[in-house]
Structure 1
Amino acid sequence: MKFTDGYWLTRPGITPLYAADVDDIRVDEAAGTMTVFAPTTVIRERGDTLNRPMLTLGFSSPAEGVIRVRVQRHAGAVHRGPDFETFAEEGSRPSITLDDAEGVLEAGDLRVRVQRDGAWSFAFEQGDTVLTTSLPRSVGHMTGPDTTWVHQQLSIEPGERIYGLGERFGAFTKNGQVVDAWNADGGTSSEQSYKNVPFYLTSRGYGVFVDDPSAVSFEIGSEVNSRVQFSVEGETLDYYVIAGPTPKDVLRRYTALTGRPAKVPAWSFGLWLTTSFTASYDEATVNEFVDGMAERDIPLSVFHFDCFWMREFQWTDFVWDERAFPDPEGQLARLHERGLHVSAWINPYIAQRSVLFAEAVEKGYLLKTTDGGVWQWDMWQAGMALVDFTNPAATDWYVSHLVRLMEQGVDTFKTDFGERIPVDGIAWHDGSDPKRMHNYYPQLYNAAVFRALEQHRGVGEAVVFARSATAGGQQFPVHWGGDCDSTYASMAESLRGGLSLALSGFGYWSHDIGGFEGTPDPGVFKRWLAFGLLSSHSRLHGSDSVRVPWEFDEEAVDIARSFTKLKMTLMPYLAGIAEQAPATGTPMMRPLVLEFPADRGGYDADGQYMLGDALMVAPVFTADGSVEYYLPEGRWTSLLDGSVVSGSRWISERHGFDSVPLRVRPGTVLPIGARDDRPDYEWAEDVTLACFELPDGYDAVTVVPGLEGPSTSFRVQRVGDEIIASSEDATAGWSLLVGDELVETNTAGEIRITLQEVSA
């Protein structure tokens, strides 16, 4: 929300009040709070206190490196939830000092310093570095014709980049943008987003989380060029400043505050194939797809049944369409016998024609209007109503139908929709504020489904395919990028959305290989295969046309096979980086700024990503195969053809459909698995440790997770011209690969290779 008209003027109809002076600072040691009372003019004499509004700022801390700020004008307003769930660090208490010059609250190495005298100012500092500052006219209360707002502006330095704010498909660097955090079903080609997260991260190594699930408006250097402004309607603004110093540190602290991504099952990293949305299908079609993948030696892990596994006009009733699926239990059992997992599409809506509608109305399970009726409309499904997940009984009822499907053999659910949540004339069961519930609804929806899967399948075995989310939604993975076009441009915008989501605390991400809307030409499909199979999760999905590779050409079949098998062999590595998401909040797919925060060359690189810390992927977004990407310092090796190029520069290349820039970071020991037919195998068994540009003196341990048992550790050293590898944990054979030289050993033995042998 913009409140000013240029530098000097306020927009018509807006009456501003700014914190202008510090009248007093009070400390409550027992509560760990520091409260600043800020009149909206400089107080020079007693008369200035009359008829003068005051803003109150409260400072506290839930954890080291995190400071909470509350800005209020009138504190007596009724507060209705929902609120984001946040997690305080046990035993953490801030230190507060107060003297005649300033008040300082310290949370570990992060502090906020409030000046008592002079121009209005408070600053957030980490060590000797001032991260950001609240300057004059930065804390404000705005009154308009029909509502009020509270805003905060925090300074940004020249060259500082702003990232995150959820899954946003426009420019990856958010400087100069206006971002309104309001979930919408807008596809991937507009400023709208399915996953709005009121959190941003900066290249200077700190983050800001606005603790409000309603429509937070961000002006990122777009109202005041040197500031980020964020505002909410009402009388209160809550936000957190989160310290680094690195972007990974910020995400670690942010996800500790809002919830870490859950661990997902190993089978979910394999290839998912769907029926597509409106394409005609039945049991025979499903069998044809599955048989076709097997006959062409394309490993398949999950088969997904999209909307029309249920009858038209009856979504959601959780009942298989008997015309197409006369024996669902038998069919799912047969898919399981082939080693496949089964996914089913659901949404949180109950159509009037559904057999469940009358029961849900009678028991009060659906969202109501303020006059006591059921809210309904005809978009998506005729007479559609919305399950009210603020009602525990409604949640239990909804989950009971999922349990029945799980007992039939469904392993996971695609939790579609959750964005089209009304705000006018409705009343939630628990009295929630409709504007706050709009963005928060998918949190309740996805949590209900994910927790049901955990209870039925076990912790670590639950996974959903979710479209909508907000802050904290990372706890219920996986999320995919929504409805994209089948074009090269949409490939790129999808990636930008994934990169922004990664810097918003989400550990895993996927997208529709080939695009959703329309039918991709074979070139787009083949380029998208490489991108999709080098993402954390990989799904073939479309709208009115299918995405089985043989529908395009034989080369597409070959490419699908080769990149699927490549991903399966990378599982010892992928399983290791996947563990970092629940442990530290570090995502699997990483923008360069996250992995190389000191290298300004990668700050704006939005057409590539690091898959973990070792692999750089640059999808090809052109028909002729031309691609430009940035490499940080060092000699980077292509995992596909072995070529080596030096970094600290932008690289221009041309690739065939069967290739993509996939380069290994120098100083990497990459564990490569012995199987290429499935993702869930014993990754350390017969593993190969591939060494890339190890510097003299290299000495590190590579850990390969166990599928169910303990991890296996391998120590790799370089001493002069000799590479030495050993393991005390290995219980099966393993190999060391340096260049083209491959040496094998049994169990815990030691391997030595000289570089002269490799060059020979």
Structure 2
Amino acid sequence: MKFRDGMWLVAEGKRLEYAEEVYSINEASDGKKVTLLCPTMQIRSRGDTLNRPTLTVELEAVMDDVLSVEVTHWHGAINKGPHFELFPSGKPQVNAGIQKTEGGTTISAGNLSATVSSKPHTFDIRFHSKDGKQKLTSLLSRSVGLAYDPATSSPMQTADMRDIKHYILTQSTLGVGEQVYGLGERFGALNKVGQAISLWNADGGTSSDQAYKNIPFWMSNKGYGVFIDATERVELEVGSERCCRVQTSVQGQRLKWHIIYGPSPKEILDKYTTLTGKPGKVPSWSFGLWLSTSFTTEYDDATVLSFLEGMKSRDIPLEVFHYDCFWLRAFHWCDFVFSPEHFPDPKASIQRLKASGLMKKVCVWINPYLGQASPVFAEAAEKGYLLKRKNGDVFQWDLWQTGMGIVDFTNPEATKWYVGCLNKLFDIGIDSIKTDFGERIPSKDVVWHDSSLDPEKMHNYYAFIYNKVVYEALQARYGKDEAVLFARAATAGTQQFPLQWGGDCESTFEAMAESLRGGLSLGMCGFAFWSVDIGGFEGTPDASIYKRWVQFGLLCSHSRLHGSNSYRVPWLVDNNDESDQGCSAVLRKFTQLKCRLMPYLYSTATESIKHGWPVSVRAMAIEYPEDKTAWLCDQQFMLGPSLLVAPVFDESGEVEFYLPQGKWTSFWDGQIIEGPKWVKETHKFDTLPLYVREGSILVLGKEGEKRTTWDWTKDVEVKTFFPNQGSIFKLVDPENKELATITAMKEGEEWRVKGAEVLA
């Protein structure tokens, strides 16, 4: 939302008042907070203190290297929930201090400081490293303010605020060459500078400025991140109202954000996820290939069996079979009952399929909506389990399902009932849940069971509680570390309930690139696990797009074949081409490659969970923050710290990618390229650029491995790639038991592996 018309004018219809000076500074007795009283004019006489708004700015040391900034106009405004659940694993101690000098007042938290200038009649707050060597950002003149819409001409008008919108805004400075990343799973340009962004969950596909996963966190290439502690709609102008500032605004009387000093991206993510929660652990089987029925396709028991047998006959290892929407009866979504016409005995059918070894686990699609045709709607409505309108009616509309209602998870009894419905699915043999939707949550004319909650704030936050309910139900049934979702909607903190996938993309190379940008962006917000609809969701991919998407999708942390109105089994895409360049051969090769990578993948995942780093589609800058080019790369990614992947986005097989400094070894043929360098290659469908970083130690399964879980001390090989003093690989098993720590040591002129003795 823009509040100005260029630099000189206020936008038509708005009134804007800025903090013009810091009139007084109060220090908290514990040395962790300073409170600034900031009038909206410079106070040069006693009369200037009358009939004038003030803004209060509180700077608080939250944890080491994290300071919060809270701006408030009227303190008497009720601060309704929901609020983000901060420090879910416990709040760490903070090394805080306040120091006064001739130049100003400085509050510090660990290695991060903020200095409030002591210059008279000035509003000037500078954020910097404690040692003063690194300048981060600032709040300067006309950078903290309040706004009215429509514009008021007299303070008397604010006696009735029912038709007046009130906003709080801040504008933090952008330095020369500064870039901004994150803000959720966004499909446009990776660097957000120049974009106007509204953090409001929406079902808009992957080809618009809407997002399923709006995360109020962004990271700068200058060594810091900002977490906006606001569950409501947040509007950002990232260098798009003032080119040298990031403007953040909310409707209300207060705005709070945290500035997080890294200085590296990895350190920023570690501290951010300490604030909002570390990613949850996922079971090793979930890394294998998932096959879906697709969305609106016609399928039944016979169809499922034919797909599974077709995969086995082609030697394509399959871990999970997913039943999408039409496992349910038409108009009955989502009532948790298999369609008896298509699946007369689902429990027996699932038992037979698991016993046959055709697949190991089963997932089903659900959402938090209830169509009124189903008996569960009447039950839920009668018991008060559904969201209501202000007049007491159940909130309903015909968007998606006829007369659908929305489960009100703020009602503990509704949550308990919903978990009971899930348990009936688990009794049948369901192991995982695709938690679709959760974005279309109304914010007008609704009342939640917990009436203390603000409907505007519940819109984005609903994704958190919906996924939390289902994730914890899976944990209760299968164990803490055996739960896994396939979720679409998210907000800050939802990384605790993995995993998320990229939503509805088209079956094109352009959509494949959009999806990658979305995954890179989400990974820079503390989400460790991410997937994508291999082949694209909308439309029917041709064989070229399908095979290139298979390569990309099998090198994501999680991999699922899924579409809308056409199947995604490979033999139906290319008329059963049995050549080594056919869809089946490519899918077989990359599925087996992923199985072979499992010791590396799982150890990478263990480290990623600990720190809040993405496992795959890891932005190049996370590994190479000092490389300016790495920050610009949005068509390639790191798979963990050691593997560089460059998907092919052209039918010709031509691809151009960037190798940072060091020696890079082709995974396929051992070719060595010295970076930094841009490289052009042409690939058939059985390869893509996959390079191993200098200094890497990899533990790999045998060629043609078809398992995701086995004893990773057996049937493996250790490979080194120009090892050095920093080379290390920690091999862990699915129970997080450390199996081996493998390092490199120099003997004479050669480097040798140490610690691999346990591997058979």
TM-score bracket, shorter-length normalisation: over 0.9
**TM-aligned CA deviation for residue 716 of structure 1:** 2.6
The answer as to whether partners of 2:696 and 2:728 remain within 8 angstroms in 1 is no
**TM-aligned CA deviation for residue 718 of structure 1:** 3.7
Partner of 2:65: 65
Partner of 1:110: 112
Partner of 1:445: 466
Matches within 5 A, 1:97-496: 97-98=99-100, 101-118=103-120, 119-126=122-129, 127=131, 128-145=133-150, 146-337=164-355, 338=357, 339-431=359-451, 432-496=453-517
Q: Is 1:541 equivalent to 2:569 in the alignment?
A: no
Which amino acid in structure 2 is aligned with residue 549 of structure 1? P
Which amino acid in structure 2 is aligned with residue 623 of structure 1? E
Partner of 1:525: 546
Matches within 5 A, 1:589-600: 589=616, 590-600=618-628
Q: Distance in 2 between matches of 1:237 and 1:46?
A: 29
130-139 vs 683-692, greater mean Cα deviation: 683-692
Q: Distance in 1 between matches of 2:694 and 2:748?
A: 17
Q: Is 1:644 equivalent to 2:672 in the alignment?
A: yes
Q: Distance in 1 between matches of 2:206 and 2:48?
A: 52
23-32 vs 645-654, greater mean Cα deviation: 23-32
The answer as to whether partners of 1:609 and 1:616 remain within 8 angstroms in 2 is yes
| CA offsets 1:185-232 (integer angstroms, 9 cap, x no match) | 000000000000011001111000111111101111111111111100
Which amino acid in structure 2 is aligned with residue 492 of structure 1? A
Aligned to 2:500, the other structure's residue is in SS state coil
| CA offsets 1:510-547 (integer angstroms, 9 cap, x no match) | 00000000100110001000000011100000000000
Partner of 1:605: 633
**TM-aligned CA deviation for residue 99 of structure 1:** 5.3
Which amino acid in structure 1 is aligned with residue 118 of structure 2? R
Note the aligned Cα RMSD (angstroms).
1.3
Partner of 2:77: 77
Which amino acid in structure 1 is aligned with residue 583 of structure 2? A
**TM-aligned CA deviation for residue 395 of structure 1:** 0.7
The answer as to whether partners of 1:601 and 1:649 remain within 8 angstroms in 2 is no
**TM-aligned CA deviation for residue 566 of structure 1:** 0.5
Q: Distance in 1 between matches of 2:103 and 2:266?
A: 35
Q: Distance in 1 between matches of 2:528 and 2:744?
A: 28
| CA offsets 1:21-50 (integer angstroms, 9 cap, x no match) | 111000112383210000111111111111
Aligned to 1:450, the other structure's residue is in SS state helix
Q: Which runs of 5+ in 2 are unaligned?
A: 151-163
Q: Distance in 2 between matches of 1:720 and 1:13?
A: 76
The answer as to whether partners of 2:182 and 2:521 remain within 8 angstroms in 1 is yes
| CA offsets 1:383-433 (integer angstroms, 9 cap, x no match) | 100000111111111011101111110000000000000111000111211
Q: Distance in 1 between matches of 2:738 and 2:599?
A: 13
651-660 vs 436-445, greater mean Cα deviation: 651-660
Q: Is 1:693 equivalent to 2:693 in the alignment?
A: no
| CA offsets 1:432-453 (integer angstroms, 9 cap, x no match) | 1111010110101000000011
Matches within 5 A, 1:7-46: 7-30=7-30, 32-46=32-46
Q: Distance in 2 between matches of 1:137 and 1:377?
A: 44
Q: Distance in 2 between matches of 1:243 and 1:90?
A: 16
**TM-aligned CA deviation for residue 715 of structure 1:** 3.1
Q: TM-score w.r.t. structure 1 length?
A: 0.94
Q: TM-score w.r.t. structure 2 length?
A: 0.94
Partner of 1:756: none
Q: Distance in 2 between matches of 1:512 and 1:407?
A: 28
Aligned to 2:113, the other structure's residue is in SS state strand
Partner of 1:755: none
Q: Distance in 2 between matches of 1:693 and 1:93?
A: 41
Matches within 5 A, 1:544-623: 544-553=565-574, 554=577, 555-589=582-616, 590-623=618-651
| CA offsets 1:47-72 (integer angstroms, 9 cap, x no match) | 11111111000111221111111101
Aligned to 2:586, the other structure's residue is in SS state helix
Q: Distance in 2 between matches of 1:683 and 1:707?
A: 9
Which amino acid in structure 2 is aligned with residue 688 of structure 1? E
Which amino acid in structure 2 is aligned with residue 219 of structure 1? E
**TM-aligned CA deviation for residue 500 of structure 1:** 0.3
| CA offsets 1:571-625 (integer angstroms, 9 cap, x no match) | 1100111012221111112101111000001111000000000000010011111
Which amino acid in structure 1 is aligned with residue 214 of structure 2? N
Divergent runs of 4+, >3 A: 98-101, 698-701, 718-721
Partner of 1:748: none
Q: Distance in 2 between matches of 1:259 and 1:724?
A: 39
Partner of 1:680: 709
Which amino acid in structure 2 is aligned with residue 368 of structure 1? K
Percent sequence identity over matched residues? 48
Q: Distance in 2 between matches of 1:724 and 1:602?
A: 31
Q: Distance in 1 between matches of 2:103 and 2:561?
A: 62
718-727 vs 391-400, greater mean Cα deviation: 718-727
**TM-aligned CA deviation for residue 728 of structure 1:** 7.0
Aligned to 1:546, the other structure's residue is in SS state coil
627-636 vs 437-446, greater mean Cα deviation: 627-636
The answer as to whether partners of 1:572 and 1:684 remain within 8 angstroms in 2 is no
Aligned to 1:114, the other structure's residue is in SS state strand
**TM-aligned CA deviation for residue 78 of structure 1:** 1.6
Partner of 2:652: 624
The answer as to whether partners of 1:16 and 1:142 remain within 8 angstroms in 2 is yes
| CA offsets 1:94-115 (integer angstroms, 9 cap, x no match) | 2123456422211101111111
Q: Distance in 2 between matches of 1:45 and 1:191?
A: 49
Q: 1:729 to 1:74 in 2, by over 3 A?
A: farther
**TM-aligned CA deviation for residue 552 of structure 1:** 1.9
Which amino acid in structure 1 is aligned with residue 713 of structure 2? A
Which amino acid in structure 2 is aligned with residue 218 of structure 1? L
Q: 1:438 to 1:699 in 2, by over 3 A?
A: closer
Aligned to 2:375, the other structure's residue is in SS state coil
**TM-aligned CA deviation for residue 327 of structure 1:** 1.2
Partner of 1:657: 685
Q: Distance in 2 between matches of 1:699 and 1:52?
A: 60
Q: 1:158 to 1:101 in 2, by over 3 A?
A: closer
Q: Distance in 1 between matches of 2:728 and 2:634?
A: 31
**TM-aligned CA deviation for residue 148 of structure 1:** 1.1
What count of residue pairs does the alignment treat as equivalent?
730
**TM-aligned CA deviation for residue 719 of structure 1:** 3.3
